[in-house]
Amino acid sequence: MPGPRPRPELHSIAAHAAGRSAGVPAEEFTHLLAANENPYDPLPGVLDAATAAARRLNRYPDIGCARLIAALAHTCDLPPTRFAAGAGSVGVIQSLIQAMAAPGDEVMHAWRSFEAYPVIAKAICGAMPVAVPLTDDGCHDLDAMAERVTARTRLIFLCTPNNPTGTAVGRDALAEFLARVPEDVLVVLDEAYAEFVSDKDAADGLTVCREHPNVAVVRTFSKAFGLAGLRIGFAVAPEAVAAALRTMAPYGVSRIGQEAAIASLAATDDVMKRVDLVVAERHRMEDALAARGFPVARSQANFLWLPLRERSAEFAGVCARAGIGVRVLAGDGVRVTVGARESNDHFLATAANFPLEPG
Ligand code: PMP
């Protein structure tokens, strides 16, 4: 007998969640280069703060993350009224779409880009995702995106650096784009990988959102700060939007998460030293792969994009047999996280044995 059934659209979320490393569970790999995680253990001060918070787990956390928001506001030199924190940046992205888009409204994003935008827009919010293809070199096609804006467009996501292609939106190009977007459309800069950007001409959301009243920035503690397991992200948004986000997800960040994030901000210098190591490894891997003839673009994030097209699954299979988990986007490419040096060496040695011409 058929029981209560969730909405059928929700199937696409299950498909997204199952998408890591061609369905092989992470535990089966010795080298985890599939999820753009930070390869380093938590910093000692962060672990101490988390452990201390664990002693008070019988108490609710701060309902609206006031101390974390105060620390973020101080770090970013923006008023606390512009901040909201949530369960990972994906939780913040979900709240943003729910806050802005009613069923039938349009949510624009580039493609390929972070899969969560269309999935959340459609399956959770009943909104209409509008996917605008990237340029051939994996960049946002901002001209094409500006042309696709309609009266129903409520949100535009720009993922910079873009997952999976690693390209960042330029400062000047973004300024021109924003001048063409109507004021009532919220442009969300998803800067999950912002700390890894080395291109001096890349746009910086924290600067842009001071000058443009319709820009929001989403950032995370999952990547550079290495707290993916704790689920903490935040938005810097126009005040009315930030206030809506804060009321929509009360108690959205755990007690341990809030304390670990505050301790991480206090340790930003140490965090950035680790970021520098990852960026140096990124350059080393790019050079080595390019020398082997791989089609590898210069990345601004903590991952590399190999557009291997129809050979993507084959390459991911070779990596899997060598104990390396990578992210395969079938028919399109393979995304490889820049990990610790040992994992990167093993990946490069494995890639060096992959015949680029089909044998
Ligand atoms: N945005 C982008 C571009 C991402 O790649 C990811 C994670 N892969 C997220 C947001 C979500 O990260 P989290 O929820 O861990 O903050």
Query: Counting runs of H as helices and runs of E as strands, what totals does the chain give?
Result: 13, 12
220 lines ligand 1 (CB under 6 A): yes
CATH classification of the domain holding 24: 3.90.1150.10
Biggest distance spanned by C-alpha atoms of the chain: 62
In which residue are the tokens 């015949």 written? 355
Q: Are residues 94 and 169 in the same domain?
A: yes
160 lines ligand 1 (CB under 6 A): no
pLDDT one-digit tens code per residue, 92-130: 999 999 999 999 999 999 999 999 999 999 999 999 999
**Percent helix, percent strand, percent coil in the chain, to nearest 5:** 45, 15, 40
How far away, in angstroms, is 205 Cα from ligand 1 center? 16
157 lines ligand 1 (CB under 6 A): no
- Burial class (CB within 10 angstroms; exposed 0-12, middle 13-18, buried 19+) of 83: buried
CA distance 242 to 34: 32
For residue 119, give the nearest of 254, 245, 18 by alpha carbon.
Answer: 18
CATH classification of the domain holding 240: 3.40.640.10
Containing 133, the helix (H) or strand (E) segment is strand 128-133
190 lines ligand 1 (CB under 6 A): yes
Best residue among 222, 232, 253, 305 to mutate for probing ligand 1, ranked by most atoms within 8 Å of CB: 222
Q: Is residue 357 part of a domain?
A: no
Best residue among 38, 89, 109 to mutate for probing ligand 1, ranked by most atoms within 8 Å of CB: 89
Of 232, 267, 302, the last residue of a domain is 267
CA distance 27 to 331: 25
Which domain covers residue 67, as residue numbers? 44-267
Q: Are residues 202 and 242 in the same domain?
A: yes
* Residues in the chain with pLDDT values less than 70: 1, 14-24, 358-359
343: how many CB neighbours lie within 10 A of its CB? 22
For 346, the token pair is 């093993």
CA distance 306 to 328: 10
Task: Quickly list H helices, 39-194.
Answer: 44-54, 66-76, 88-100, 116-119, 142-147, 171-180
CA distance 163 to 266: 28
In which residue are the tokens 């190591």 written? 277
Of 200, 235, 267, the last residue of a domain is 267
User: Count of domains in the chain?
Assistant: 2
Q: Are residues 185 and 334 in the same domain?
A: no
Give Rg (Cα) of the chain: 20
CB 253 within 8 A of CB 85: yes
Q: Is residue 2 part of a domain?
A: no
Q: Is residue 158 part of a domain?
A: yes
Q: Are residues 14 and 159 in the same domain?
A: no
CA distance 122 to 103: 9
Q: Are residues 209 and 249 in the same domain?
A: yes
CB 218 within 8 A of CB 190: yes
Q: Is residue 162 part of a domain?
A: yes
Q: Are residues 293 and 180 in the same domain?
A: no
Partnered with residue 131 across adjacent β-strands are: 109
37 lines ligand 1 (CB under 6 A): no
Task: Quickly list H helices, 77-170.
Answer: 88-100, 116-119, 142-147
Of 267, 288, 311, the last residue of a domain is 267
CA distance 110 to 118: 10
Q: Are residues 28 and 104 in the same domain?
A: no
Q: Is residue 305 part of a domain?
A: yes
Report residue 330 CA to chain centroid gap. Answer: 20
- Position 359 scores a pLDDT of 47
- Burial class (CB within 10 angstroms; exposed 0-12, middle 13-18, buried 19+) of 279: buried
Q: Are residues 256 and 309 in the same domain?
A: no
125 lines ligand 1 (CB under 6 A): no
163 lines ligand 1 (CB under 6 A): yes
Q: Is residue 302 part of a domain?
A: yes
